[in-house]
Amino acid sequence: MSRIVERLLAPNVAILVAVMGVGAGSRIRGGDAGDIIYGSIAVALIPSAASLLVALALVGPGRPRGGGGQAGAGGPWLALSSLLAGLALGYYTGLEPPGIVVDVLLYILLMLSGYTIGGMEGLAGALRGGGSLGLLLAVSCIVGGIVGGAIAGVLLGWGPIVGALMGSASGWYSLVGPLLYLVDPLYGAAAFLGNLFREMLHIMIYPLLARRIPLAAIAVGGATTMDTGLPVVAAYGGVEERVAAFVQGALLTLVLSLGLPLAVSLA
């Protein structure tokens, strides 16, 4: 059953972000496209850097290790292509899907994500073995994401609250994008792309950062280090880093699945 649920996640995310892209694309006019691109880059870089700095203060750099191997992004490219296709369709047709469609798809995503987390083998043991480091790294992601996101929001003119919500997602693009889409489709598109870029950034630069700061560098990956971001940590870090990365991602996923929807509803 768990394998079936896992196979349903990627198609659900692809459909969800495509619908979201249609709505955002229907509202993009003129300079809005540039705002989304610049905003998404800022949302990826500034919260990532802030999370890394907080992690260095809380857990230290870790012990540098040699490493090799390959790690791929996989799922993000499917999600990105779905979003771009939706943006193009919405831009050229002016279609705007009903908000209830996004709501339903988002609820399905949360349910599937919760099922896969709860049924994951070794979750309890990993939480006990690397709980302290993973917890501190998760705190680094949340604090750095909020502070860095708020700074990005001010610089972009969107306000610190919107920016903090985007940054606090810690790479969980498929959650924060649809949530902020319900507030403003342009915010949703920027939040989605920014956090997607953060996941890709982690996969690209962790091999370099692991040479000096393998433990603290995990914070760049945010919530993604439980799944898509874990292979690169496993390839270039040690056992300590692998467990800490998994615990960080699991804790962030649990906290954000409850806290982020609540925060957006109250904002």
Residue type, 239: V
In this predicted structure, what is the pLDDT of residue 52?
96
The phi and psi torsions of 45 (rounded to 5 degrees) equal: -80, -45
Residue type, 85: A
What's the domain count of the chain? Answer: 1
Domain residue limits at 199: 2-266
Mean pLDDT value across residues 55-79: 65
Render pLDDT for 204-253 as a digit per residue (tens, 0 to 9): 788 888 888 999 999 999 998 887 777 778 778 777 788 888 889 989 99
Render pLDDT for 86-110 as a digit per residue (tens, 0 to 9): 878 887 888 877 778 777 876 776 6
Residue type, 145: G
Q: In this model, does residue 128 exceed pLDDT 70?
A: no
Mean pLDDT value across residues 121-136: 69
pTM comes to 0.73
Looking at per-residue pLDDT, the higher value among 68 and 151 belongs to 151
Highest mean pLDDT of the ranges 9-13, 36-40, 168-172? 168-172
Render pLDDT for 175-213 as a digit per residue (tens, 0 to 9): 898 899 888 888 988 998 899 889 888 877 888 888 889
The alpha carbon dihedral of 258, 96, 39, 204 has a sign of: positive
Looking at per-residue pLDDT, the higher value among 157 and 232 belongs to 157
Cα-based distances in Å from 252 to 81, 88, 199, 232, 249 = 26, 32, 14, 18, 5
- Between 47-51, 70-74, 228-232, 248-252, the lowest mean confidence (pLDDT) is in 70-74
CA gap 118, 4 in Å, rounded: 15
79 falls in which pLDDT band (50, 70, 90)?
A: low
End-to-end CA distance of the chain: 37
